């Protein structure tokens, strides 16, 4: 299965850092955010990834490319460990790029992948959602997709006051984790929200979604919304929502980005003890 990673957004929520750096390239500990997303896809067995970029996103392409200058310096220094690490990044997967020429929204960004996806089922991982889990989140959704032979969307509960930041589903429970989507709305107000089950930036689609995007008009925020296309899809075939296992962070949000760094650092043996010590000391001083 191919994966599509939309990474064309302007990142205005993270200014000034994103003035000249794509938000997907902001570091989480020592890796750019988008690497965590690519790694999640690779861990799920995906080896063909299409990144939808836009203006000012050149550094994403450079990052996943071979850097001959850097490699020759590392070779000269006999730093084979670093060299190996750099090669792993460029060898991780077969990564393709396409530019979304106009910022017309997430739905439109996905539509840019139509030719590359070429009539197959495909996965979508949003570039600003990072999910830490034992089993890669997109792998959990692919498993469900294979079982149900229908599109599956990763969801999670959010506090009522956050519903207006997400796509929110209206669902009929199948089991404790799975439900069939009966309605979906992009960024509803608290009063309009059908539930507090939010779309968390991971999707596995049948290629029929493209036709639905084609038919989707301008939605919330004057953009072509993927959520509106999913609504059309639910009127034609079953679409499921799955409460995946894992902790999800929104990199577009500054507080969440700080938390992502803490979580990622605590997941790493080399930083863990020092970080806990630092945080304990800091809290006791506050």
- Min dist CB 219 to ligand G1P, Å, is 9
Q: Which stretch binds ligand G1P (CB under 6 A): 49-57, 66-74, 193-201, 203-211?
A: 193-201
Is 199 a residue that touches ligand G1P (CB under 6 A)?
Answer: yes
In the list 167, 196, 234, 251, the residue contacting ligand G1P (rule: CB under 6 A) is 167
Closest CA to 58 of 8, 1, 13: 8
CA dihedral 134, 3, 260, 103 (to 10 degrees): -160
Check: CB of residue 8 under 8 Å from CB of residue 130.
no
Residues 6+ apart with CB under 8 A from 65: 90
In the list 95, 125, 250, 264, the residue contacting ligand G1P (rule: CB under 6 A) is 250
For helices 226-236 and 208-215, angle between their N-to-C axes, nearest 10 degrees:
120
Is 40 a residue that touches ligand G1P (CB under 6 A)?
Answer: no
- Give the span between the Cα atoms of 146 and 148, in whole angstroms: 6
Measured from the CB atom, the residue of 216 and 225 that comes closer to ligand G1P is 225
Residue with tokens 């997400």: 166
Q: x-or-dash pattern for ligand G1P, window 93-132, by CB under 6 A?
A: -------------x-------------------x--x---
- Min dist CB 248 to ligand G1P, Å, is 8
Residues 6+ apart with CB under 8 A from 265: 29, 271, 272, 275
- Min dist CB 281 to ligand G1P, Å, is 34
Is 60 a residue that touches ligand G1P (CB under 6 A)?
Answer: no
- Min dist CB 2 to ligand G1P, Å, is 20
Q: Around 280, how many Cα atoms within 13 Å sit in the side-chain half-sphere? A: 6
- Give the span between the Cα atoms of 138 and 196, in whole angstroms: 21
Is 186 a residue that touches ligand G1P (CB under 6 A)?
Answer: yes
Task: Please tell me whether the peptide bond between 71 and the residue prior to it is cis, using omega within 30 degrees of 0.
Answer: no
β-sheet bridge partners, residue 155: 199, 243
- Min dist CB 269 to ligand G1P, Å, is 29
Tell me which residues in 212-241 interact with ligand G1P (CB under 6 A).
225-227
Measured from the CB atom, the residue of 54 and 74 that comes closer to ligand G1P is 54
In the list 198, 209, 239, 265, the residue contacting ligand G1P (rule: CB under 6 A) is 198
Q: In the complex, which residues of this chain contact ligand G1P (CB under 6 A)?
A: 106, 126, 129, 166-167, 186, 198-201, 225-227, 250, 252
């Amino acid at each position: 299965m191919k994966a599509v990673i939309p990474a064309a957004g302007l990142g205005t929520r993270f200014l000034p850092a994103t003035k000249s750096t794509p938000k997907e390239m902001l570091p989480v500990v020592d890796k750019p955010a988008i690497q965590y997303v690519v790694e999640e896809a690779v861990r799920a067995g995906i080896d063909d990834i299409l990144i939808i970029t836009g203006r000012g996103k050149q550094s994403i392409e450079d990052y996943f490319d071979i850097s001959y200058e850097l490699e020759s310096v590392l070779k000269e220094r006999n730093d084979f460990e670093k060299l190996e690490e750099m090669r792993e990044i460029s060898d991780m997967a077969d990564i393709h790029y396409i530019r979304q020429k106009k910022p017309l929204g997430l739905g439109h960004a996905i539509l840019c992948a139509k030719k590359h996806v070429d009539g197959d089922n495909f996965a979508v991982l949003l570039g600003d959602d990072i999910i830490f889990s034992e089993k890669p989140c997109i792998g959990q959704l692919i498993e469900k997709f294979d079982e149900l032979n229908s599109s599956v969307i990763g969801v999670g509960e959010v506090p009522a006051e956050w519903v207006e930041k997400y796509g929110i589903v209206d669902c009929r429970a199948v089991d404790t984790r799975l439900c069939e989507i009966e309605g979906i709305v992009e960024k509803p107000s608290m009063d309009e929200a059908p539930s507090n089950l939010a779309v968390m930036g991971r999707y596995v689609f049948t290629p029929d979604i493209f036709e639905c995007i084609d038919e989707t008009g301008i939605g919330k925020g004057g953009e072509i919304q993927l959520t509106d296309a999913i609504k059309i899809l639910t009127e034609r075939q079953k679409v499921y929502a799955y409460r995946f296992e894992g902790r999800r962070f929104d990199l577009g949000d500054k507080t969440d980005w700080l938390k992502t760094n803490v979580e990622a650092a605590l997941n790493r043996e080399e930083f863990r003890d020092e970080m806990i010590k630092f945080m304990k000391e800091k809290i006791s001083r506050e």
